[in-house]
Amino acid sequence: MSPPPALAVRLGPLELPNPILTASGTFGYGLEFAHLARLERLGGLVTKGLSREPLAGNPPPRIAETRGGVLNSIGLQNIGIESFLADVLPGLTDLPGKVIVNLFGYELDDYPRLAERVEPCAGVAAVELNVSCPNVKRGGIEFGHDPEVLERLVAAVRGATSKPVIVKLSPNVARPWELGEAAKAGGADILSAINTLLGMSIDPWTRRPRLHTGRGGLSGPAIRPVAVRVVYDVARRVGLPVIGIGGIETVDDVVEFLLAGASAVQVGTALFRDPRTAERLVDGLAERLAALGLERVGDLVGAVRPWEEA
């Protein structure tokens, strides 16, 4: 009998026991889900976004369901980096999967300051930078929408930490790979894609936007084809390992992202319906590899077949 397929993957300097992670903002800080899911089955978990100070977030309503997706404007509510490091991280250290902290700020300097804080923490395997945030010193343009600013931001983080740096790309730009190239030039090790798509929905009866803030971020199955396209373009053009994110629910979805060029994936909105989705995908992926007669996850990465084959 052939040995079971190996699920372990390596993304540059980051090794994961399997390629299934939970996405930032959809699984709290991990511990809240310990009684609902088997955290030890995950390849890794990405924390809710953390800032230098705690944030209360936006007024409700902050979540609205749409066909095939969810709109949110949580406003990056979080407990702040200090509280996370003191109260939450110690409870996450015994997991085989990797703990990745998602960081964001409102000034460029917030990012290296946050990276410095997690640098001495052995329980943190990598940092993921949420650069889909307004740069208050630059008229509110998102850091991740300006290649020059993004390169400087990533370089500043690179100088502050020896941990793997993951840069999370926004889909709300015309050429996402240019931002991926800027992140690479700044010293990023890995790219993750995509963050939410900017959207809006209005209740036809109350005439009010369904979110208090009007606009919000769209996630869920509705954005999956956009995410697959961004992963495909970025993986081929930039040459850094990519973590695919966007509407993943089934093993087929995972395989689709791997074929497009992702080396691992994050599961987000699907966890709202079933917090065990990610661990089920770990088992499902192992079964799929065995059924395909493949020994490694890497055999699928970037293996999409063009129509014009000899």
Residue 62, CA distances (Å) to 72, 76, 142, 155, 209 in order: 5, 11, 20, 33, 11
Residue 83: exposed, middle, or buried by beta-carbon count in 10 A (0-12, 13-18, 19+)? middle
Active site residue 121: no
Q: Is 64 in the site for ligand FMN (CB under 6 A)?
A: no
Distance CA 249, CA 211 (A): 25
Decide: is 23 part of the binding site for ligand FMN (CB under 6 A).
yes
Q: Where are the alpha helices (DSSP H) in the chain?
A: 81-83, 110-118, 147-158, 176-186, 224-238, 251-260, 270-273, 277-292
One of 99, 126, 133, 182 is an active-site residue; which one? 133
Stretch that binds ligand FMN, among 70-78, 156-164, 179-187, 201-209 (CB under 6 A): 70-78
The answer to whether the CB of 226 falls within 8 A of the CB of 246 is yes
Which positions from 93 through 152 interact with ligand FMN, judged by CB under 6 A?
102, 130
Q: What angle do CA 122, 74, 221 make, to 5 degrees?
A: 90
Does 74 engage in binding with ligand FMN (CB under 6 A)?
yes
Nearer to ligand FMN, 24 or 135 (CB): 24
Pick from 149, 90, 126: nearest CA to 264: 126
Closer by beta carbon to ligand FMN, 144 or else 261: 144
Which position among 49, 97, 144, 199 is part of the footprint of ligand FMN (CB under 6 A)? 49
**Is 76 one of the binding residues for ligand FMN (CB under 6 A)?**
yes
When asked if residue 18 is in the footprint of ligand FMN (CB under 6 A), the reply is: no
Give the total of residues touching ligand FMN (CB under 6 A). 25
Residue 99 β-bridge partners:
45
Longest dimension (CA), the chain: 63
> Is residue 26 within the footprint of ligand FMN (CB under 6 A)?
yes
Say how far apart CA 266 and CA 158 lie, in whole Å. Answer: 23
Site membership for ligand FMN, residue 154 (CB under 6 A): no
Q: What's the min distance (Å) between Cβ of 76 and ligand FMN?
A: 6
> Is residue 164 near ligand FMN by the rule CB under 6 A?
no
List of residues contacting ligand FMN (CB under 6 A): 23-26, 48-49, 70, 72, 74, 76, 102, 130, 168, 195-196, 219-220, 223, 245-248, 267-269
Report, as residue numbers or ranges, the catalytic residues.
133
